[in-house]
Structure 1
Amino acid sequence: MSSPILVTGAAGFIGYHVVERLLAEGHPVVGVDSFTPYYDVALKEARFARLTPHNTFLGERLDLADAQATRDLFQHHRFERVIHLAAQPGVRFVDPQPYAASNLIGFMNLLEACRHAGVQHLVYASSSSVYGANRKLPFSEHDTTDHPISLYAATKKANEMMAHSYAHLFGLSSTGLRFFTVYGPWGRPDMAVYKFTHAIAQEREIQVANAGRVWRDFTYVDDIVEGIVRLVDRAPSGNPAWNAEAPDPATSAAPHRVYNIGNDSPEEVNRLIALIEAALGRRAVRADVPLPPGDVLETRANVTDLRRDVGFAPSTSLEEGVRRFVEWYRGYHGV
Structure 2
Amino acid sequence: MSAPILVTGAAGFIGFHVAKRLLRDGHRVVGVDSFTPYYDVSLKEARFANLTPHNAFEPERIDLADPQATQDLFRRHRFERVIHLAAQPGVRFADAMPYARSNLVAFMNMLEACRHAGVGHLVYASSSSVYGANRKLPFSEHDPADHPISVYAATKRANEMLAHSYAHLFGLPATGLRFFTVYGPWGRPDMAVYTFTRAIAEGREIQVANAGKVWRDFTYVDDIVEGVVRLVERIPAGDPSWNALAPDPATSGAPHRVYNIGNDRPEEVNRLVALIEEALGRKAIRVDKPLPPGDVLETRADVTDLRRDVGFAPATSLEEGVRRFVAWYRDYHGA
Is TM-score (shorter-chain normalized) higher than 0.5? yes
For residue 241 of structure 1, report the CA deviation from its aligned partner: 1.2
TM-score normalised to structure 2 length: 1.00
Contact residue 261 and residue 314 of structure 2 kept, 8 A: no
Q: Equivalents in 2 of 1:264, 1:46: separation in Å?
A: 31
Structure-1 separation of matches of 2:283 and 2:222? 28
Partner of 2:316: 316
**1:126 positional shift:** 0.3
Give 1:54 deviation, angstroms.
0.3
In structure 2, the residue matched to 1:302 is 302
2:68 — aligned with what?
68
User: Aligned with 2:149: secondary structure?
Assistant: coil
Letter in 2 for 1:149: I
Instruction: Indicate the residue corresponding to 1:178 in structure 2.
Output: 178
What residue identity is the alignment partner of 1:128?
S
Q: Which amino acid aligns with 1:273?
A: V
Q: SS state of the match for residue 156, structure 1?
A: helix
Q: Which residue of 2 aligns with 1:234?
A: 234
Q: CA RMSD in A?
A: 0.5
Alpha-carbon distance between aligned partners in 2 of 1:247 and 1:312, rounded to the nearest angstrom: 26
Instruction: Describe the superposition over 1:22-63 as per-residue Cα deviations: whole angstroms up to 9, x where unpaired.
Output: 000000000000000000000000000000000000000000
2:250 partner letter? A
- Tell me the SS of whatever aligns to 2:68: helix
Which amino acid is the alignment partner of residue 54 of structure 2? H
Name the CA distance, whole Å, in 1 between partners of 2:14 and 2:240. 33
Q: Which runs of 5+ in 2 are unaligned?
A: none
**1:277 is aligned to 2:277:** yes
Once the two structures are TM-superposed, the CA of residue 315 in structure 1 deviates from its matched residue by 2.6
Q: Give the match for residue 189 of structure 1.
A: 189
- Give the distance between the partners of 1:210 and 1:264, measured in 2 at CA: 22
* 2:103–2:159 CA contact under 8 A, matched in 1: yes
1:82-231 residue pairs with structure 2 within 5 A?
82-231=82-231
Percent of aligned positions that are identical = 83
Paired residues for 1:19-34 under 5 Å: 19-34=19-34
Corresponding residue for residue 249 of structure 1: 249
Taking the aligned partners of 1:265 and 1:312, their CA distance within structure 2 comes to: 15
> Equivalents in 1 of 2:230, 2:93: separation in Å?
34
SS in 2 for 1:166: helix
Counterpart residue type for residue 233 of structure 2: D
TM-score, normalisation: structure 1: 1.00
Q: Which stretch of structure 1 is more off in the superposition, 238-247 or 214-223?
A: 238-247
| CA apart distance, 1:247 | 1.3
Shift of 1:72: 0.2
For structure 1, the residue ranges without an aligned partner over 5 or more in a row are none
One-letter identity of the residue aligned with 1:105:
V
5 Å-filtered alignment, 1:30-49, equals 30-49=30-49
Letter of the 2:168 counterpart: H
User: Using the alignment, how far apart are the partners of 1:280 and 1:259 within structure 2?
Assistant: 35
* Distance in 2 separating the partners of 1:98 and 1:313: 33
Deviations 1:216-262 (A, max 9, x none): 00000000000000011111011111111221111110000000010
Amino acid at match of 1:197: T
Which residue of the partner structure matches residue 14 of structure 1?
14
| Residues 250-288 of structure 1: per-residue CA shift (max 9 Å, x gap) | 111000000001000000000000000000001000000
> In the alignment, which residue of structure 2 is the partner of 1:50?
50
Letter in 2 for 1:22: L
Rounded to whole Å, the distance in 2 between the matches of 1:241 and 1:186 is 43
One-letter amino acid of the structure 1 residue matched with residue 153 of structure 2:
A
The amino acid that maps onto 1:314 is: P
Moved over 2 A (4+): none
Could you say what secondary structure the match of 2:265 adopts?
coil
Code of the residue aligned with 1:218 in structure 2: it is F
**Distance in structure 1 (CA, Å) of the matches to 2:321 and 2:236:** 32
TM-superposed CA distance for 1:298, in Å, is: 0.1
Q: Which residue identity lines up with residue 91 of structure 1 in the other structure?
A: V
Identify the range of structure 1 (263-272 vs 245-254) with the bigger mean alpha-carbon deviation.
Answer: 245-254
Instruction: Verify the 8 A CA contact 2:261 2:313 in the aligned structure 1.
Output: no
Amino acid at match of 1:97: M
SS in 1 for 2:104: helix
Deviations 1:127-154 (A, max 9, x none): 0000000000000000001100000000
Letter aligned with residue 33 of structure 2? D
1:124 partner amino acid:
Y
Q: Distance in 2 between matches of 1:249 and 1:122?
A: 17
User: In the aligned structure 1, how far is the partner of 2:316 from the partner of 2:148?
Assistant: 30
